Structure 1
Amino acid sequence: MLGASLKGKSVIVTGASKGIGKGIARVFVEHGAKVLVVGRDLASAEATAKEFVAQGGTASAFSADVSQLADMEKMAKAAAERHGGIDVLCANAGIFPQVTIENMSPEVWDEVQDVNLKGTFLSVKACIPYLKKSSAGRIVITSSITGPITGFPGWTHYGATKAGQLGFMRTACMELAKFGITVNAVLPGNILSDGLKAMGEEYMKGMAAAVPLGKLGEVEDIGYAALFLASREAGYITGQTIIVDGGQILPESPDALAQM
């Protein structure tokens, strides 16, 4: 059964107190993993961890800023002390404030790079010493279709980080292969999360209409893709991406969808 190999494994999920990160964390908890719920706001992370525990899972909360190496080192140490090591890192934390290039300040650009791209690097760096001790170390990065494949006005900074994550992944997987650690990425399309809901009802309707499956994805859809990449069954897969978008990137034009 897929996911059975994750039972008892120590898993870190950054940006896990809400949205896609919470969906990822929930799927791992439901499959018996011990999950460290990481978020900048401790109260939110604790509420999420308590929710998982109340449902019979094993989870604890940790407050950290992924853009700070000291925080990531403390996070890794906490996961190892609480859950007996680190087997899986889901580098999920990310932000996406929408602003056009013309109106974007260098400070906003830097903030998005620091959280999304630098945060991926620092979380991976901090966890490597522990992942090397695991019998099957796994790193799963939450990238996006935006940047690597598609574009959307107002998200040049976000798209740059998401494409950058894949460049990072392709060399990281080579460096870490000798330790038996795999590095892969999930590329979500439009997922029904807190961030997407903030874009408004009309935006969500428009996005759903652009998806061949006719609906937005659920956060757990990303969780199951991450679960597979972290599983024993995916042990010979590294440096690869899984697109989870309901077919959104496939139509050549709106007319293609109208023919369905």
Structure 2
Amino acid sequence: MLLQNKVAIISGASRGIGRSAALTLAEQGASLVIIGTKVHLLEEVADRVKQMGKECVVYTGDVTDQSTAEEVVAKTMDRFGKIDILINNAGINMRSSTLDMEIDDWKRVLDINLNGNLYFSKVVLPVMIKQRSGKIVNVSSSTAKSGHKNATPAYGASKAGVDYLTKHLALEMAKHNIYVNGVSPGPIETDMIKQWTSEYREKVLANIPLNKLGTPKNIADVILFLSSSMSDFITGETINVNGGTYIN
């Protein structure tokens, strides 16, 4: 197993990419601490993980509150004594133009998508520095790189911030043997796209060279790669997983 005896913290783990990442990492041997706001969905994930014979601790909290990160890390250390992997996945999107967007919505999206990543990283990094090891994976979006008028500008701006934070932390933490990378999903079959009309879905598919939407498991597999020893000469990168819709 790629992650035997490893301990991973995953935010936004109740559904979609976070849920799939939790199950994928557990299948590869990791014990988990999963965070979200919907306890019944988190408990469903935890039950699946426990059926695999791995430990899974559920924590309900808001990633925009710095104390959430502090409490999660403290409880993880009490339970496991180490933190090997941090997956910053919690995020939201809204659909509005710049002129229609409320300023409070701008602040909320940036607070969850970007500030939450910073809060968790700042609390986890001292643990990893002491261990002289660790992997952090930040979930971004192709919207950060190419723009998308169907999403609120706050979403793209927040994910562009995630991309820069990934690079900056990677440079700072390399001397401590800590790897910081990201994954940049394109169109993925998650709850976020339930807002799409059938006409819009067909339009999206027509612009994907592989002519299909991605799945949460597609992203989870890249998260696994970046969390494991397979990526031990990669840091500061954000990997595109989008069916060819954005290539660089």
Would you call these one fold, judging by a TM-score over 0.5?
A: yes
Measured after TM superposition, the shift of residue 55 of structure 1 is 4.2
Identity of aligned residues (%): 34
Query: What is the aligned counterpart of 1:146 among 115, 122, 143?
Result: 143
1:199 — aligned with what? 196
1:171 — aligned with what? 168
Measured after TM superposition, the shift of residue 195 of structure 1 is 1.5
Tell which deviates more after alignment, 86-95 or 62-71: 62-71
Label 1:239 to 1:202 Cα distance change in 2 as closer, same or farther (>3 A).
same
Measured after TM superposition, the shift of residue 98 of structure 1 is 1.0
Indicate the RMSD between aligned Cα atoms, in angstroms: 1.6
Contact 1:91–1:120 under 8 Å retained in 2: yes
Contact 1:50–1:60 under 8 Å retained in 2: no
Contact 1:14–1:92 under 8 Å retained in 2: yes
C-alpha separation in 1, matches of 2:188 and 2:53: 26
Structure 1 residue 61 and structure 2 residue 58: aligned? Answer: yes
SS of structure 2 residue aligned to 1:101: coil
Q: Which letter maps to 1:5?
A: L
Deviations 1:139-189 (A, max 9, x none): 000000002233233321100000011111111111111211111110000
Tell which deviates more after alignment, 197-206 or 29-38: 197-206
C-alpha separation in 1, matches of 2:7 and 2:24: 13
C-alpha separation in 1, matches of 2:65 and 2:208: 37
Tell which deviates more after alignment, 180-189 or 167-176: 167-176
2:154 — aligned with what? 157
Measured after TM superposition, the shift of residue 202 of structure 1 is 3.4
Query: What is the aligned counterpart of 2:211 among 203, 209, 214?
Result: 214
SS of structure 2 residue aligned to 1:114: helix
SS of structure 2 residue aligned to 1:94: coil
* Structure 2 unmatched ranges of 5 or more: none
Measured after TM superposition, the shift of residue 113 of structure 1 is 0.8
Contact 1:211–1:248 under 8 Å retained in 2: yes
Structure 1 residue 41 and structure 2 residue 38: aligned? Answer: yes
C-alpha separation in 2, matches of 1:212 and 1:66: 35
Measured after TM superposition, the shift of residue 43 of structure 1 is 2.6
Measured after TM superposition, the shift of residue 134 of structure 1 is 3.6
Structure 1 residue 80 and structure 2 residue 67: aligned? Answer: no
Structure 1 residue 118 and structure 2 residue 154: aligned? Answer: no
1:98 — aligned with what? 95
Moved over 6 A (4+): none
Contact 1:147–1:159 under 8 Å retained in 2: yes
C-alpha separation in 2, matches of 1:191 and 1:80: 33
Q: How many residues align?
A: 247
C-alpha separation in 2, matches of 1:56 and 1:231: 20
C-alpha separation in 1, matches of 2:241 and 2:4: 24
Structure 1 residue 183 and structure 2 residue 170: aligned? Answer: no
SS of structure 2 residue aligned to 1:243: strand
C-alpha separation in 2, matches of 1:226 and 1:146: 19
Measured after TM superposition, the shift of residue 135 of structure 1 is 5.1
Measured after TM superposition, the shift of residue 14 of structure 1 is 0.4
Correspondence 1:22-37 to 2 at 5 A: 22-37=19-34
C-alpha separation in 2, matches of 1:196 and 1:7: 34
1:10 — aligned with what? 7
SS of structure 1 residue aligned to 2:184: strand
C-alpha separation in 2, matches of 1:36 and 1:206: 38
- TM-score by structure 2 length? 0.94
Q: Which letter maps to 1:206?
A: K
* Structure 1 unmatched ranges of 5 or more: 251-260
Q: Which letter maps to 2:74?
A: K
C-alpha separation in 2, matches of 1:210 and 1:45: 34
Tell which deviates more after alignment, 62-71 or 197-206: 197-206
Measured after TM superposition, the shift of residue 62 of structure 1 is 0.8
SS of structure 2 residue aligned to 1:6: coil
